[in-house]
Structure 1
Amino acid sequence: MLSGFSSHWHYLWLVAASLIAGVMNAMAGGGSFLSFPAMLSMGILPVQANATNTVALWPGQLTSLAALKSDLRKDLLPVAALASILGGLTGAEVLLRTRQVTFLHLIPWLLLMGAVIFGISGPVSRWLRARSAEPHAKRTPRYFPLFCALFPVCFYIGYFGAGGGFLIMTVLALFGVDEMHALNAMKIVTACLSNLVAIITFIVRGAVLWHYCLISMVFAALGGYIGARYARRMNPDVLRRIVVLTGCVISAYFFWRQY
Structure 2
Amino acid sequence: MFDLALDVTLWLIAAAFVAGAMDAIAGGGGLITVPALMLAGVPPAQALATNKVQGVFGAATAALSYAASGHVDLRGQIRAAMLAFAAGMAGAFCVSLIPTQALRYALPVLLIAIAAFFALKPGLNDLDRAARITPGQFTAFVVPLVGFYDGLIGPGTGAFFMLCFVMLAGYGILRATAHTKLLNFSSNLGGVLAFALVGKPLWITGIAMGAAQIAGAWVGSRLAMRIGARLIKPLLVTSSTVLALKLLYDLF
Fold similarity call, TM over 0.5: yes
In 1, are the aligned partners of 2:56 and 2:188 still within 8 Å (CA)?
Answer: yes
- Structure 1 counterpart of 2:159: 166
| Distance change >3 Å, CA 154–CA 185, structure 1 → 2 | same
- Structure 1 counterpart of 2:194: 201
Deviation at 1:89, TM superposition (A): 1.3
Deviation at 1:250, TM superposition (A): 3.5
Unaligned runs of 5+ in 1: 1-6
In 1, are the aligned partners of 2:119 and 2:234 still within 8 Å (CA)?
Answer: no
Cα distance in 1 for partners of 2:105, 2:11 equals 23
Structure 1 residue 72 corresponds to structure 2 residue 36: no
The AA in structure 2 aligned to 1:122 is: F
Q: Once the two structures are superposed, what CA deviation does each residue of 1:210-242 show, in whole Å capped at 9, x if it has no partner?
A: 243134223333433444455546952543454
Cα distance in 2 for partners of 1:229, 1:198 equals 27
Cα distance in 2 for partners of 1:87, 1:123 equals 30
In 2, are the aligned partners of 1:107 and 1:254 still within 8 Å (CA)?
Answer: no
Q: Once the two structures are superposed, what CA deviation does each residue of 1:43-74 show, in whole Å capped at 9, x if it has no partner?
A: 33322211210111211112222234453386
Deviation at 1:11, TM superposition (A): 4.9
- Structure 2 counterpart of 1:178: 170
The AA in structure 2 aligned to 1:32 is: G
Task: Indicate the larger mover: 179-188 or 58-67.
Answer: 179-188
Rg larger in structure: 1
| Distance change >3 Å, CA 201–CA 131, structure 1 → 2 | same
Structure 1 residue 254 corresponds to structure 2 residue 250: yes
In 1, are the aligned partners of 2:65 and 2:218 still within 8 Å (CA)?
Answer: no
- Structure 2 counterpart of 1:219: 212
Cα distance in 2 for partners of 1:151, 1:163 equals 15
In 1, are the aligned partners of 2:50 and 2:201 still within 8 Å (CA)?
Answer: yes
| Distance change >3 Å, CA 242–CA 190, structure 1 → 2 | closer
Q: Once the two structures are superposed, what CA deviation does each residue of 1:16-53 show, in whole Å capped at 9, x if it has no partner?
A: 43232123223332111111111222333322211210
Cα distance in 2 for partners of 1:8, 1:141 equals 47
Cα distance in 2 for partners of 1:28, 1:196 equals 19
Deviation at 1:155, TM superposition (A): 0.5
| Distance change >3 Å, CA 229–CA 89, structure 1 → 2 | closer
Deviation at 1:205, TM superposition (A): 4.5
In 1, are the aligned partners of 2:8 and 2:40 still within 8 Å (CA)?
Answer: yes
**What TM-score, normalized by structure 1, do the two folds share?**
0.69
The AA in structure 2 aligned to 1:24 is: M
| Distance change >3 Å, CA 149–CA 170, structure 1 → 2 | same
Structure whose residues are more often helix by fraction: 1
| Distance change >3 Å, CA 11–CA 60, structure 1 → 2 | closer
Which runs of structure 2 are paired with 1:100-119 in the superposition (5 Å)? 112=108, 115-116=111-112, 119=115
Unaligned runs of 5+ in 2: none
- Structure 2 counterpart of 1:4: none
| Distance change >3 Å, CA 43–CA 107, structure 1 → 2 | farther
**What TM-score, normalized by structure 2, do the two folds share?**
0.71
The AA in structure 2 aligned to 1:209 is: L
- Structure 1 counterpart of 2:84: 84
Deviation at 1:179, TM superposition (A): 4.0
Q: CA RMSD in A?
A: 4.2
Cα distance in 2 for partners of 1:124, 1:76 equals 30
Percent identity, aligned pairs only, is 24
How many pairs align? 242
Q: Once the two structures are superposed, what CA deviation does each residue of 1:173-204 show, in whole Å capped at 9, x if it has no partner?
A: 555x3343654443222222111222222234
- Structure 2 counterpart of 1:152: 145
In 1, are the aligned partners of 2:57 and 2:213 still within 8 Å (CA)?
Answer: no
1:243 is matched with which residue: 231, 239, 244?
239
